[in-house]
Structure 1
C-alpha cells in the first residue's frame, strides 16, 4: 500500500468539488444508461487529473470504488492520507469522510464507480473500507467500453448490460475476497448485527473454529487488518451512519457501537475520521 499518515485531528475539511481546466474526465451517469440505474450505480468514469483537482465528501452518500492507474494522487480513507499510485484500488463505505486530490507537478490517472445510497454495497455493514494493490486496468477498459457504447455507439441495451456486468464482476473480485472464506463469513455474520457487544478475539476464533493466531492471519490476509481492528472499522462505519441519519445523542450512539465511555468513542472516531463526532454530524447535516 502507498505511504500513509494519520489525518490531522484538527484539519478542517468542507464539502469540495474542484475539477479544474487541466483535468479531463469521461463519465457515464445513471441518467445516460439504464443499466447503471438498474444496478443502483450513480456513475462511472475515467479521469486524467492535475492540480487543482480536489474532492472532499464530508458524508459520502453511496459507496465509492476508486482505481489508481498511473501518476500520483493523495487519498483520505480509513482515517489516513495515503499516496495513490498505479495498481492500487480503494473502496470507501457510504456515510464516511472521504477525500482525494492531485499533487503539484504530477498528473494522476484513475477510474471510479459510485453507487447510489440504495445499492447493497452502500448499506451499513459492508466490509469496508479497503485500500490495497489491485490492478484497475480491466475496470478502466470496461468503463471506457461502456462510455463508447453510450456516447459513440448505438447505445444498445444488451451491450450496456454486458459492460456494466463486467465492471461489477471485477469490483466483486476486489471487494469480496473475504466472502470466499466460510470462517470469516461466520465470524462477521455474528459480529455485524451485535456491534454493541463486548467482543473478544477468543470468541471470534471459537466461531471460526480456529486459534486466535490463525484468525489474525486470515483476517490480515483478507482485510489487511486484525479481527479487532476490523471490528473497530465496522463500529465507526455504523456510527457515521447513525450520526448522519438520526438525532440520537452521541452517548447513545457510542453504546450502540460497543463503547461504554463516550470519551473513548469520540477519541477513536476522531482518530479514524479526522474530526469529532459532533463536528461530523454538524457538517453532514449542512
Structure 2
C-alpha cells in the first residue's frame, strides 16, 4: 500500500487564509462532461469497497466544496490542472497526480484555468479498513503515474454497464491492484525519473528544459541531476540531447523529410542549431550523414 508521504506539491499562495465557513456545494458549467459509475450500474463496485466513481472532462467552470462528508475522495488527474483548497492552504493539482481527501475533512477543488480542460477520474470510498492507509496520508496531492491506466480501466468499466459481470469484476480487481498493491512505487524518485524520460522520448518536439523536467517529476533540479547520472551516466540535459540525436538518425532515413522538418520534430526551431548539435554529436552534418546512408 501507499506509505506515509509529505505533500509533494507546495502551496500556490503565500499568506493564505482559509474560508471561515465550509459548505456542501457543486457547480458545473454547461461544457463539462461527466460519466458516472454507480452501484446500480456496476453492483460489483460495492463488494470491492467503492461507493461511486466518475470520468470527468471539465472546462469553463467546475467547483466542488464539501464540509466533513463521510466518504474518502480520490482524484486521479490525467490532463489539465485543478486547484485544491483545504484549511491548511491551496495546492495545484497537476497531471499524473493523485489527490487524497479523507472522510470528515473540509475541502474545495476546482478547475484552475477555465480555458484548459481538466481531465480526471474521481472515486468516493467508504471509510473501510481497506482504505485506512491511503486515508491516513491526510489531504495531499502526490505523484501517481498510473492515472492513464486508471482512466482506461474506468472507460472499459463504463462500457460494461449492462454487460458482463465477470469482466467487470476483472476490471475492478485491476483497479484495486493499482490502488492497494503499489507499495512506495508512486513515490519512488528513480521510477519517476524513468517515467519522465519515457514521456520526454515520446514528445521530443516540446521545449524541454531541466527546470520543466524537474517539475514534471516533483524533484528539485539537483535531485533530478543526481538520479539521472545514476540511471543514465549523464546529466538530464545530456540525456535529452542523446534522445534527440538517436531519433534524428532514424528520421534522416526518410528522404522526403527536409532537414528543417526533422529539426522541428526534435524540438529545434532553428535548423542551424540542430545541424551544429548533430555535427558535434556524430562528427558530420545531418546532410552528410544522409548521403552516407544511400551510398
Q: Under TM normalisation by the shorter chain, which class is it?
A: 0.5 to 0.7
In the TM superposition, residue 132 of structure 1 has moved relative to its aligned partner by: 1.2
Partner of 1:101: 110
Is the contact made by 1:42 and 1:116 (CA closer than 8 Å) also made in structure 2?
Answer: yes
Judged with a 3 Å threshold, the aligned counterparts in structure 2 of structure 1 residues 77 and 142 are, in CA distance, closer, same or farther, namely: farther
Partner of 1:167: 175
TM-score, L = length of structure 1:
0.55
Q: Does 1:80 align with 2:89?
A: yes
Q: Secondary structure at the match of 2:160?
A: helix
Per-residue CA deviation, residues 163-213 of structure 1 (Å, 9 max, x unaligned), is 111112112245x539xxxxxxxxxxxxxxxxxxxxxxxxxxxxxxxxxxx
Judged with a 3 Å threshold, the aligned counterparts in structure 2 of structure 1 residues 129 and 172 are, in CA distance, closer, same or farther, namely: farther
Give structure 1 regions of 4+ aligned residues with deviation exceeding 2 angstroms: 9-13, 76-80, 103-106, 116-120, 122-130
Equivalent positions of 1:53-92 (< 5 A) are 53-77=62-86, 79-92=88-101
Q: Does 1:34 align with 2:55?
A: no
Partner of 1:157: 165
Judged with a 3 Å threshold, the aligned counterparts in structure 2 of structure 1 residues 163 and 72 are, in CA distance, closer, same or farther, namely: same
Judged with a 3 Å threshold, the aligned counterparts in structure 2 of structure 1 residues 80 and 35 are, in CA distance, closer, same or farther, namely: same
Is the contact made by 2:93 and 2:99 (CA closer than 8 Å) also made in structure 1?
Answer: no
Instruction: Select 2:21's aligned residue among 5, 12, 17.
Output: 12
Q: Secondary structure at the match of 2:131?
A: helix
Partner of 2:121: 111
Instruction: Select 1:134's aligned residue among 118, 125, 144.
Output: 144
Judged with a 3 Å threshold, the aligned counterparts in structure 2 of structure 1 residues 2 and 106 are, in CA distance, closer, same or farther, namely: farther
Give the total of aligned pairs.
175
In the TM superposition, residue 44 of structure 1 has moved relative to its aligned partner by: 1.6
Select the structure of larger CA radius of gyration: 2
Equivalent positions of 1:105-254 (< 5 A) are 105-118=115-128, 120-121=130-131, 126-135=136-145, 136-150=147-161, 154-173=162-181, 177=184
Unpaired stretches in structure 2, ≥5 consecutive residues: 1-7, 186-295
Instruction: Select 1:52's aligned residue among 61, 68, 80.
Output: 61
Is the contact made by 2:71 and 2:104 (CA closer than 8 Å) also made in structure 1?
Answer: yes
Judged with a 3 Å threshold, the aligned counterparts in structure 2 of structure 1 residues 112 and 88 are, in CA distance, closer, same or farther, namely: same
Is the contact made by 1:77 and 1:99 (CA closer than 8 Å) also made in structure 2?
Answer: yes
Is the contact made by 2:22 and 2:106 (CA closer than 8 Å) also made in structure 1?
Answer: no
Q: Secondary structure at the match of 2:154?
A: helix
Is the contact made by 1:44 and 1:111 (CA closer than 8 Å) also made in structure 2?
Answer: yes
Q: Secondary structure at the match of 2:171?
A: helix
In the TM superposition, residue 124 of structure 1 has moved relative to its aligned partner by: 10
TM-score, L = length of structure 2:
0.53
CA distance in 2, matches of 1:167, 1:85: 21
Per-residue CA deviation, residues 16-35 of structure 1 (Å, 9 max, x unaligned), is 11122110011101121111
Per-residue CA deviation, residues 202-237 of structure 1 (Å, 9 max, x unaligned), is xxxxxxxxxxxxxxxxxxxxxxxxxxxxxxxxxxxx
Q: Which has the higher contact order (CA 8 A, sep 6+)?
A: 1
Q: Secondary structure at the match of 1:25?
A: strand
In the TM superposition, residue 137 of structure 1 has moved relative to its aligned partner by: 0.8
Judged with a 3 Å threshold, the aligned counterparts in structure 2 of structure 1 residues 21 and 141 are, in CA distance, closer, same or farther, namely: same
